[in-house]
Amino acid sequence: MQDQNPAVPFSLCVYCGSRDGNKPAFHADATTLGREIAREGWRLVYGAGDVGLMGAVARSCQASGGETFGVIPVHLMNMEVGKRDLTTFVVTENMHERKKVMFMNSDAIVVLPGGMGSLDEFFEVLTWKQIGLHDKPIFLLSTDGYWAPLETLIDHVIAEGFASDASRGLYTSVGSVDELVAAVRALRS
């Protein structure tokens, strides 16, 4: 996969929780991922919040010298503590615009542990890929097996005849940041 514009670094869109979750491993992986994005010379595209896993990945990327591109809707500026010190900080009118801007400015998507918003973002890009609107790689970072129930649900949907077996190939599940970085490196070569 080649970068479309050589002036813009390879961009990894990270969807994740605006909370830390109950396990320290979630925060640790978000922090490690932010650092690795910077080390690889990639750009972080994310929801521009400074709370939860969102804040952890962004602060870590920044601390390691990485480029950050944050997108936040105006109605979440206070709730998600809009992180204004990013390389690029975009404020949108609504969630639909936020997701579109994040998607359009990324080369690959990673979904860390998160809540309903992360599920919404995952299923939107998954559906778009299923119907042929894009071919960007999608990764689930399943820290401590976090996404295993989601994968079981997808298997159930397939088994019940509401999706094809090919649906399993629309995303890749990885268990560690190291595995994720290796997979992204491989798709870029």
Confirm whether 107 is domain-assigned: yes
Question: What's the rounded Cα separation, in Å, for the pair 55 and 62?
Answer: 10
CB 60 within 8 A of CB 29: no
Question: What's the rounded Cα separation, in Å, for the pair 109 and 184?
Answer: 10
| DSSP designation for 167 | G
With tokens 């998160």, the residue in question is 114
Confirm whether 115 is domain-assigned: yes
CATH of the domain at 91: 3.40.50.450
Q: What is the pLDDT along the chain (189 residues), one digit of tens a residue?
A: 444 566 889 999 999 999 999 999 999 999 999 999 999 999 999 999 999 999 999 999 999 999 999 999 999 887 788 889 999 999 999 999 999 999 999 999 999 999 999 999 999 999 999 999 999 999 999 999 999 999 999 999 999 999 999 999 999 999 999 999 999 999 988
Confirm whether 2 is domain-assigned: no
Confirm whether 5 is domain-assigned: no
pTM of the full predicted structure?
0.93
Domain count, the chain: 1
